[in-house]
Structure 1
Amino acid sequence: MPGEALGGADTAPAPIRRRRVARVLLDSPLPQLDRLFDYEIPGELADEALPGVRVRVPLRSAGRVIDGYLVELGEPDASDRPLSELEAVVSPMPVLTPRLYALARRAADRAAGSAGDILRLAIPKRMVRAEKAWLAADPPTRPELPPEAEAWADGILAEYPGFGDALAQSARLAVDAPPQPARLADGTPVGAWAVLLAAAAVRTLADGRSTIIAVPDHRDRAQLEAALQEWVPADALVRDDAKQSGPARYTAFLRTLADAPCVVIGNRSAVYAPVADLGLVALWDDGDPLFGEPLSPGVHARDAALLRQELDGGALVFAGHTRTSDVERLVALGWVRDLPAARRRSPRVVLTAHREGESRASRVPSAAFAAAREALAEGPVLVQVSRPGYAPVLVCATCRHPARCPHCGGPLHAARHGAVPACTWCGRAANAWACAECSSTMLRMASSGSERTADELGRAFPGTRVVVADGDHPVATVDERPALVVATRGAEPLASGGYRAVILLDGDRMLMADDLRIGESCLRWWSNAAALAAPGAPVHLVGVGGEVARALATWTQAAYARSELADRAPLRMPPTVRVAAVDGPRRAVDAALDDLRRAVPELDAEAVLGPLARGDGVRALVRFEYGLGARVTENLRASVVSQAVKGRRPSKGRPAGAANTLKVRVDVPDLDL
């Protein structure tokens, strides 16, 4: 047959091989690698290469192997384009859920950063033993709450009419927490705010949904954990913070991946916990600077929580004794709803000044002194000061010029009375100090820290126990016995039953700080201290007047936040607008700003401040409306990538692979050039 002679059966086309494709996000700080790369899945890894697992892949441009996450499986590929193969599947545990990746991508895009940087904060380092133990154990089941838990939670939430319904309806709320101390059933002292948030978590868990509560530091976490332990089973209460050991933190992260609902309490990175069926995200005291992420791309926990709620649903609660201008802006827009308490509670705040004829050199006016003496007959008294140490600031006794170190120019301080002054920067002792202005060798203490204040009050109240609480002397709680507790702002211990009086010193010095938000910060420090007072106990704010003092005295912190917004709007200061900082060599910064103006012509002439010299380069600030955010951040990110790619190319005087020199930080809190 002719066909047989020609060998027709042997010339049939070979079947087309369809390759399985993995789309991988590389774990790299290089901005140009912040996208998904396609890799072929070899046959031996077909059963292990599943979405969410950690993988190791070759990076051809660098000639090395790099870690990454398998984000998704691509469509089978029959093309002849070259694809590298996956090198290995590091772990069978799918640690990157689709929702977590979507959140990381959204947060990174909003901040002109990389999704890999977000995931580095959200996913702990793998611990092999902890992972094997978790995989070998039985999966967690839905927690069973005590029979009276729901009734207890509903009773606490009833103080805020509609709170329970708002949680069920996934509302966004701003809540002014009760400014008073509380005691748990076992007598443990906590803030009433911790009981309120614990009740919200119990109510959500009873409905079969998970809760995430983020707090600034370990002191707040301990209070919240104590309030929850009475009602939430241990296997459903998950702690997530950086102070845990590596295995403990990784085990906690694996628990959040389970299908069984849980309650997660932790610091700023806890908002990324990939819990099942999220029912509530709550932030306590979102004005605390510890919620600001120092690592790139610097997404504030408040912004991450807003994105999380928008993507995953569930309720969102901002609770605090004060209201930040950021949250108040959202309330004014109607995006967040103010939820008042049924009965308004406030401490008894007294604005105390020196009486006529009274020496201004006295730090404690006679009225506050008398209140402290009277209160010490019943229990502890809290005295808040601005700084730790003995004498944080020294000046020349003759000309009052600040005393500086002759070696590095740092400020001098005294560790105790009669001690040789030392530099706070380099630590050198200034044995033969002389003033650079007048050559005097005499020093004067210009401020009093916590230790000097304790020394002075100890002499004024002989026989009284004095407790110092600051960064060097951490104290968590004090008992009901009479004591003078001298604490720096934010380090105040809890008192069993509350303090019988609170005296707030150094307020005028706190308000002098060069900070756009210093009024908000001072109001937050004072309000948190006032909330530690027993019901009816006096709170004396010494030597401060004006709008901030009136807001504390009338306990109208939300109104103060509204006034701050009104004052900042004409000046185009955050948070009425968003602000991005662009740092780098002048040529790179100028090029990025030129590209931005062309891409976003809506930016007016006053949108850009600078560039001004800063360190080895320059810095410019870009102010833009929230509606322009996506376009501005996308363009700035493109400039960062462009400069990074240029930096990889060899040029005269610079080898290939030089580091990227253009940096962008979005949503900076202050206009600091």
Structure 2
Amino acid sequence: MRRVARVLIDSPLPQLDRIFDYAIPDELAADAAPGVRVKVPLRSAGRMIDGYLVEIVDLDTADRPLSELDAVVSPVPVLTPELYALARRAADRAAGSASDILRVAIPRRMVRAEKAWLAAGAREIAQVGAEAAQWAQRVLSAFPGLAEAVSAGERVAVDAPAHPVQPAPGLDVGAWAELLSAAAVQTLAAGRSAVLVVPDHRDQAQLEAMLEVHAPDRAVVRVDARQSAPERYAAYLRILDGTPCIVVGNRSAVYAPVHAPGLVALWDDGDPLLSEPLSPGVHARDAALLRQELEHSALVFAGHTRTTDVERLVGIGWVRSILAARRTSPRIVLSATREGESRGARVPSAAFAAAREALHEGPVLVQVSRPGFAPVLVCGDCRRPARCAHCAGPLRARRRGAVPECAWCGRSAAGWRCPHCESERFRMASSGSERTADELGRAFPGVRVIVADGEHPVSHVDARPSLVVATRGAEPIAAGGYRAVILLDGDRMLQAEDLRVGESCLRWWSNAAALARPGAPVHLVGVAGPVARALATWTQSAYARAELAERTPLRMPPTVRVASLTGGRPAVQHALTVLREEVPSLDDEAVLGPMAEGEGVRALVRFDYASGRAVTESLRAAVVADAVRARKAPKGRPAVPRNTLRVRVDVPDLDL
């Protein structure tokens, strides 16, 4: 018998997504331990490559020679068995590579941060004070059964309170942050770790502010992409030090290998920022579900709205919905133009009057759909979209009277002429945040106007009277809550060609309404129908159930899973042929396409959850088979790998 190191190669090549066996030389026997980073020879490439030592086993290798480990890069075991198991499960479910998951989960090694961590020694266990524990119990008691569900490791969905709170003088956060922080503090008090996953840094800041008031010192660990490389690696090492902690971070934090995991909570899982864009594209929600199955820790989905994905899990009994003891909701008003008003009026008289009255007390929020001054320009005569003469990109205006410029190439459009009617006149077809601020500034003279969008980030505003014009998702928090909220451009938002546009609009509007002071009016302008009714009655879960009922006969996600195949036509056709042979449960309507896309084609495969494993295994095998083939190259030149087939599983929208 011989001691053998089983190594996962850190490579994007799909054919290398497996365990390789290496002999352990005597000089590395002391440092070679499961979880450490290593360098190993790769015969096929003739070079050294990085990897992770997954485990050490005793094998009889007399019948096969083994290459030896070249080096142990670091003695710190950064890959825990639990993290590897999660990465393997997540990759298999998404027809991807485990090394791609670990590249997101484990930061790059920083030598100075590692030496400082090794020199620091053992860390004391953080103790939750009696006052903080009582506070957590009081907050969680607003949802009967939630504290017990978290302690028992259940999967639950919670509709978070929709109003701001003040945990300390001068500190304003959403009530949702108070709820998740209380669950984390209760978990830490029980000697277990909590992982809180949020879409962006604004949500993260609210949680950190709340935990700073109630959690023990040095118990909270921040993990996000905005940190420097040494900071992120130091935070990762802190998670590995064997003491319970509370991790707060963005989508990659869902993989944090905390000690004694007791809770994973996701805030606003409908936000697209929680969907990983890098291969294999595993959503934080799916990773959290897989983690809960492996670790049996509690899993909490919280939001002001309920996604159809979570509602499907509630419907099949996989997730339990917990309601508040006392139902509260913002004061929603559906504003429409009255008789005698111009139908083109952007702000109806009722909403205008509400804003004017609220400005006597404090800030008013106005939500718009797009940033900029005039994001869309059309011909002044024929009303066709104005396009750049160089790249055909859309033209926009940055301010009133300015020469339009292209949104794609940035060229100015001086001397533009419509190719259809020869007109030289423009017309503004939409109003962005800056134009809306300009118009409202003239309508409310003497009132401070604040623009909050991607180019003008604002996180907080004070309690002084002001008009805050913000794009969806960029709304700042107001001290004491907004005295009124006006939701504009709702009809335009609902016109987007997106399967989930109703869900998205309801989420944007609900999150904005939750920033209002309790009792303050929230005016939704010019929108009717199911989405508006769901907002007005604050029944987002019912809307999600209705959406599921409509999508089921049409076989739209999330009632089914969808995989996207892109690449050369022969590769896609071959993958589909093999898939149909290996998964006979797929019917004739399961495959959509292939359709031309760029230089290749794209096909969509719809399949039931029960067939998921068989489908992903077949697609992954097709990707590997395509990667190992090589095109014939001219004499004297190396072969060029084909590897044109790309697979993305769990595509949320069929039109992607």
The Cα of 1:80 is off from its aligned counterpart by 3.8
User: TM-score, length-normalised on structure 2?
Assistant: 0.99
Q: What is aligned with 1:609?
A: 592
Residues 1:355 and 2:349 aligned together = no
Matched, 1:142 2:125: yes
Aligned-partner residue type, residue 127 of structure 1: M
1:650 shift after superposition: 4.2
1:93 is aligned to 2:76:
yes
Which residue of structure 2 aligns with residue 290 of structure 1?
A: 273
Name the residue aligned to 2:480: 497
Q: Map Cα deviations across residues 230-259 of structure 1 (whole Å, 9 max, x no partner).
A: 122232100000000111100110111121
Match of residue 546 from structure 2: 563
Give me the identity figure in percent.
72
The equivalent position to 1:192 in structure 2, one of 175, 187, 193, is 175
Aligned to 2:388: 405
4+ residue runs of structure 1 moved beyond 3 angstroms? 649-655
Task: Provide the residue aligned with 1:428 in structure 2.
Answer: 411
Aligned partners of 2:626 and 2:642 also within 8 Å: no
1:640 to 616, 623, 643: 623
Post-superposition offset of 1:141:
2.2
The amino acid across from 1:264 in the alignment is: V
* Amino acid paired to 2:433: S
Contact 1:21/1:77 (8 A) holds in 2:
no
State yes or no: 1:254 paired with 2:237: yes
Deviation digits for residues 14-35 of structure 1, max 9, x if unmatched?
Answer: xxxx432100000000000000
Q: CA deviation at 1:147?
A: 2.4
Describe how 1:466-477 pairs up with structure 2 within 5 A. 466-477=449-460
Pair 1:340 & 2:323 matched: yes
Bigger mean CA deviation after superposition, 135-144 or 627-636: 135-144
* In structure 1, distance between residues paired with 2:641 and 2:151: 53
Match of residue 68 from structure 1:
51
Match of 1:224? 207
The question of 1:56 aligning with 2:39 is answered: yes
What are structure 1's unaligned runs of at least 5 residues?
A: 1-17
Q: Deviations over 1:418-438 (max 9, x none)?
A: 000000000000001000110
Shift of 1:146: 2.3
1:301 aligns with 2:271: no
Structure 1 residue 209 corresponds to structure 2 residue 192: yes
Give ranges in structure 2 of 5+ residues lacking alignment: none
AA aligned opposite 1:412: L
SS at match of 2:434: helix
Q: Aligned partners of 2:265 and 2:626: how far apart in 1?
A: 39
Deviation at 1:76, TM superposition (A): 3.7
Aligned AA for 2:91? A
Say whether 1:517 aligns with 2:493. Answer: no
Corresponding position: 1:451 with 2:434: yes
Counterpart among 240, 257, 262 of residue 223 in structure 2: 240
Equivalent-residue separation in structure 2 for 1:533 and 1:386 (angstroms): 19
Matches of 1:657 and 1:333, distance apart in 2: 48
Match of 1:460 in 2: 443
- Residue 551 of structure 1: aligned partner: 534
The residue aligned with 1:316 is: 299
List per-residue Cα deviations over 1:508-538 (Å, max 9, x = no partner).
0000001000000000000000000101000
Judge conservation of contact 2:629–2:642 (CA < 8 Å) in 1.
Answer: no
Give the SS at the match of 2:158.
strand
Q: Matched residue pairs, number?
A: 655
Q: In the aligned structure 1, how far is the partner of 2:582 from the partner of 2:34? A: 36
- The DSSP-based 3-state class of the residue aligned with 1:456 is helix
Shift of 1:77: 3.0
Q: Aligned equivalents of 1:96 and 1:61: distance in 2?
A: 26
Shift of 1:82: 1.4
Tell me, in whole angstroms, the C-alpha distance in 2 between the residues paired with 1:69 and 1:91: 10
- 5 Å-filtered alignment, 1:356-371, equals 356-371=339-354
**Structure 1 Cα separation of the partners of residues 121 and 52 of structure 2:** 26
Query: Could you tell me how far 1:356 is from its partner in structure 2?
Result: 1.3
Residue 84 of structure 2 aligns with an amino acid whose one-letter code is: Y
C-alpha contact 1:388 1:470 (8 A) present in aligned 2? yes
Give, in whole Å, the separation in 2 of the partners of 1:138 and 1:671: 52
Shift of 1:78: 4.4
TM-score by length of 1: 0.96
Mapped partners of 2:527, 2:135: distance in 1: 41
* Correspondences of 1:369-384 after superposition (within 5 Å): 369-384=352-367
Structure 2: distance between partners of 1:657 and 1:169? 54
Q: Which amino acid aligns with 1:174?
A: A
Larger Rg: 1
Root mean square deviation of aligned Cα: 1.0
Give secondary structure in 1 for the equivalent of 2:116: helix
Shift of 1:652: 6.3
Determine if the alignment matches structure 1 residue 630 to structure 2 residue 618. Answer: no
Please give the alpha-carbon distance, in whole angstroms, between the structure 2 residues aligned to 1:465 and 1:485. Answer: 9
What is the SS of the residue equivalent to 2:214? coil
User: One-letter code of the match for 2:409?
Assistant: C
* Counterpart Cα distance in 1 of 2:419 and 2:541: 47
What amino acid is aligned across from residue 543 of structure 1 in structure 2? Answer: G
Match of residue 535, structure 1, among 505, 518, 526: 518
The match for 1:3 is none
Bigger mean CA deviation after superposition, 76-85 or 465-474: 76-85
Does residue 1:23 correspond to 2:21, yes or no? no
Question: Matched residues in 2 for 1:457 and 1:424: separation?
Answer: 25
Shift of 1:659: 4.4
1:26–1:78: structure 2 CA closer, same or farther, 3 Å change rule? closer
SS at match of 2:511: helix
Which structure 2 residues correspond to residues 150-161 of structure 1 after superposition, within 5 A?
Answer: 150-161=133-144
Q: Secondary structure at the match of 2:374?
A: coil
User: Counterpart amino acid of 2:548?
Assistant: L
Query: Which amino acid counterpart does residue 387 of structure 2 have in structure 1?
Result: R
- Contact map agreement 1:53 1:91 (CA 8 A) in 2: yes
Letter in 1 for 2:186: R
Aligned residue among 109, 116, 141 for 1:126: 109
Q: Deviation digits for residues 597-634 of structure 1, max 9, x if unmatched?
A: 00001100000000000011000000000000000000
* Aligned residue in 1 for 2:159: 176
Deviation at 1:184, TM superposition (A): 1.4
Q: Provide the secondary structure at the position in 2 that maps to 1:184.
A: strand
Greater CA drift, 127-136 or 178-187: 178-187
Cα separation, 2, equivalents of 1:251 and 1:186: 32
CA contact (8 A) 1:392 1:447 kept: yes
Task: Write out per-residue CA displacement over residues 454-494 of structure 1, whole angstroms, 9 at most, x where no aligned residue.
Answer: 00000000000111000010111111110000000000010
- 2:83 aligns to what SS in structure 1? helix
Q: Say which is worse superposed, 77-86 or 167-176, in terms of deviation.
A: 77-86
Q: State how far apart, in whole Å, the 2-side matches of 1:637 and 1:178 are.
A: 42
Partner Cα distance (2:589, 2:63) in 1: 52
Matches of 1:79 and 1:210, distance apart in 2: 45
Aligned with residue 325 of structure 1, among 308, 329, 350: 308
Q: Is the 8 A contact 1:143 1:236 kept in 2?
A: yes
Q: Give 1:574's match in structure 2, choosing from 557, 561, 571.
A: 557
Provide the C-alpha distance between the structure 2 equivalents of 1:270 and 1:521, rounded to a whole number of angstroms.
Answer: 24
Match of 2:18 in 1: 35
1:421–1:294 distance in 2 versus 1, CA, 3 Å: same
Deviation string, structure 1 residues 181-206 (Cα, Å, up to 9, x no partner): 11112330000000010000000000
Compute the displacement of 1:399 (Å).
0.6
Q: Which has the larger displacement, 80-89 or 497-506?
A: 80-89
CA distance in 2, matches of 1:338, 1:170: 14
Q: Deviations over 1:102-157 (max 9, x none)?
A: 00000000000000000000000000000011001122221012221110000000
What is the CA–CA distance in structure 1 between the aligned matches of 2:38 and 2:466, rounded to whole Å? Answer: 58
Native 8 Å contact 1:328 1:558 kept in 2: yes
